[in-house]
């Protein structure tokens, strides 16, 4: 391959300019990284790197992230396009992941099991080995941080493959951690395309676990590759998450969070509240107020801290636009938005007006498929049972919001929703550091975040001693 083709241009989605050039790693680079990780994992240096020391190192990583918060936030905004204020939140969340798992590192406990007299039976949780992480482009710093932190806390070695579109904060994070004293080879990063470096990582015979965040179709390929080596996977895939709004909701709060959950990161969030499932009697007034709020949002480069930044790329913009064109073709009312936004000085940027598609039938393609942009579909219901049926009526099951002042109804609905997280009278858009996050159905399986994530990175050994 010519030398020029061995490189990848990383572009600013706000104006199309080239931010950086990174290596186009492939099977060869992945193999080198995995070999380095395996050597480090099996070394005496790592075996004697005790849990307390791993925790201490993770606390130091959190401090370094905060010391460099301005640079990391700026890099994230330039790379992804999101408003600077949102990137600053991402930096703080990244630091909190390291703090959370620092506290866990020396508390990963086994159990004693009563078997019969004369036998002491106990379990230990051991590192699973060499873990591969394929990082998505929408929250690269957050997801790299949670991957690295839990992997180190549990005593594993790691190979990260960041998205080719947004690798800069992952690279910077690993660079910042270099002086902390991790054994060489415990933490490795390979930049490259998913179909080359990502595919090589998911199919490598020395990888012991794969964590993938991304699309359903790519997730299937990752799972198929891992299956050839009988390797477990954790898949965090797409979502079509509903905000279920009842007539007795606190309207002001519901409006605030329905808006936030669809425009955060220009709607490019797997847990975005991309469906408004609302009681028919209040729909018209609620949608009018929501449209008015959307129309007040400022749109422009994330670095200038507008309310809404650009979507990632031309490919992503055209995909979102195809859904809006389908709405126009099928006669679905566009309550607001639906057009490209012209931003002076950023004519090459991919800016899109936040959009509401009104009265979308629950079975329509627009209400069933993940759009991954600032596009909200609106579907009405008349009964609680109908609301639940609509909410559960997609191939996905990641997050849901329930808005009602009736406590019994809130719990009743939550108990019947087929999704990994339910938020009542708020919306977490993925939830906090300690809250297990993952999906039902085609939204994936396994859980990230919280103590539940430890199950992905450890394996249980049972020991029975006869006396």
Cβ within 8 Å of residue 386, ≥6 positions away: none
State mean pLDDT over 153-157: 98
- For the chain, residues classed under CATH 3.40.309.10 are 242-438
Return d(Cα 43, Cα 306) in angstroms, integer. 49
- The CATH number of the domain covering residues in 3-237+444-466: 3.40.605.10
State the sign of the Cα–Cα–Cα–Cα dihedral 324, 421, 382, 284: negative
Return d(Cα 216, Cα 195) in angstroms, integer. 15
Residue 325 above 80 pLDDT?
A: yes
pLDDT per position as a tens digit, 258-309:
999 999 999 999 999 999 999 999 999 999 999 999 999 999 999 999 999 9
Return d(Cα 161, Cα 137) in angstroms, integer. 11
Catalytic residue list contains 9: no
* 8 Å CB contact between 277 and 288: no
Q: Measuring CA to CA, how many Å separate 284 from each of 323, 376, 429?
A: 23, 15, 25
Residue 80 above 90 pLDDT?
A: yes
pLDDT at 365: 98
Q: Measuring CA to CA, how many Å separate 242 from each of 48, 293, 388, 430?
A: 48, 19, 10, 13
- The CATH number of the domain covering residues in 242-438: 3.40.309.10
Residue 356 above 70 pLDDT?
A: yes
pLDDT at 280: 98
pLDDT per position as a tens digit, 209-251:
999 999 999 999 999 999 999 999 999 999 999 999 999 999 9
- For the chain, residues classed under CATH 3.40.605.10 are 3-237+444-466
pLDDT per position as a tens digit, 389-435:
999 999 999 999 999 999 999 999 999 999 999 999 999 854 589 99
Return d(Cα 192, Cα 170) in angstroms, integer. 13
3-state SS, the chain, equals CCHHHHEEEEECCCCCCEEEEEECCCHHHHHHHHHHHHHHHHCHHHHCCCHHHHHHHHHHHHHHHHHCHHHHHHHHHHHHCCCHHHHHHHHHHHHHHHHHHHHHCCCCCCCEECCCCCEEEEEEEEECCEEEEECCCCCHHHHHHHHHHHHHHCCCEEEEECCCCCCHHHHHHHHHHHHHCCCCCCEEECCCCHHHHHHHHHCCCCCCEEEEECCHHHHHHHHHHHHHCCCCEEEECCCCCEEEECCCCCHHHHHHHHHHHHHHHHHCCCCCCCEEEEEHHHHHHHHHHHHHHHHCCCECCHHHCCCECCCCCHHHHHHHHHHHHHHHHCCCEEEECCCECCCCCCCCCCCECCEEEECCCCCCHHHHCCCCCCEEEEEEECCHHHHHHHHCCCCEECEEEEECCCHHHHHHHHHHCCCCEEEECCCCCCCCCCCCECCEECCEECCECCHHHHHHHEEEEEEEEEC
Both tokens of 13, joined, read 């989605």
Per-chain mean pLDDT for the chain: 96
Residue 387 above 60 pLDDT?
A: yes
Pick the catalytic residue: 76, 99, 164, 236?
236
């Amino acid at each position: 391959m010519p030398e020029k083709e061995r490189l990848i241009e990383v572009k600013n989605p706000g104006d199309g300019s080239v931010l950086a050039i990174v290596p186009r790693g492939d099977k060869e680079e992945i193999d080198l990284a995995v070999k380095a990780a395996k050597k480090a994992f099996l070394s005496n240096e790592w075996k004697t790197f005790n849990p307390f020391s791993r925790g201490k190192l993770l606390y130091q990583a959190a401090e370094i992230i905060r010391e460099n918060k301005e640079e990391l936030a700026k890099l994230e905004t330039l790379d992804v396009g999101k408003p600077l204020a949102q990137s600053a939140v991402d930096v703080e969340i990244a630091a909190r992941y390291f703090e959370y798992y620092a506290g866990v590192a020396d508390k990963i406990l086994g159990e004693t099991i009563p078997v019969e007299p004369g036998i002491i039976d106990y379990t230990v949780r051991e590192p699973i080995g060499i873990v591969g992480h394929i990082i998505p482009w929408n929250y690269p710093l957050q997801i790299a941080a949670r991957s690295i932190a839990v992997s180190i806390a549990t005593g594993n070695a790691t190979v990260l493959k960041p998205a080719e579109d947004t690798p800069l904060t992952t690279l910077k994070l690993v660079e910042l951690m270099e002086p902390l004293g991790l054994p060489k080879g415990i933490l490795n990063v390979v930049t490259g395309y998913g179909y080359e470096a990502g595919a090589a990582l998911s199919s490598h015979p020395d990888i012991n676990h794969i964590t993938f965040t991304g699309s359903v179709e790519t997730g299937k390929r990752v799972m198929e590759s891992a299956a050839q080596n009988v390797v477990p996977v954790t898949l965090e895939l797409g979502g079509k998450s509903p905000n279920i709004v009842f007539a007795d909701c606190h309207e002001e709060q519901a409006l605030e969070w329905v808006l936030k959950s669809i425009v955060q990161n220009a709607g490019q969030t797997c847990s975005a509240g991309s469906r408004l499932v609302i009681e028919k009697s209040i729909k018209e007034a609620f949608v009018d107020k929501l449209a008015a709020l959307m129309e007040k949002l400022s749109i422009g480069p994330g670095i200038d801290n507008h309310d809404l930044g650009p979507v990632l790329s031309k490919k992503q913009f055209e995909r979102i636009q195809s859904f809006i064109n389908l709405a126009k073709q099928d006669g679905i009312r566009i309550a607001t938005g639906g057009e490209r936004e012209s931003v002076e000085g950023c004519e090459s940027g991919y800016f899109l007006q936040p959009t509401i598609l009104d009265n979308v039938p629950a079975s329509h393609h627009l209400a069933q498929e993940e759009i991954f942009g600032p596009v909200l579909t609106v579907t009405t219901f008349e009964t609680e049972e109908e609301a639940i049926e609509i909410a559960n009526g997609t191939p996905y099951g990641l997050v849901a919001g329930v808005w009602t002042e009736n406590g019994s109804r809130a719990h009743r609905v939550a108990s019947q929703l087929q999704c990994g997280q339910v938020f009542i009278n708020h919306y977490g858009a993925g939830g906090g550091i300690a809250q297990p996050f993952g999906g039902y159905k085609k939204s994936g399986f396994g859980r990230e975040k919280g103590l539940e994530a430890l199950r992905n990175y450890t394996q249980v050994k049972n020991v029975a001693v006869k006396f």
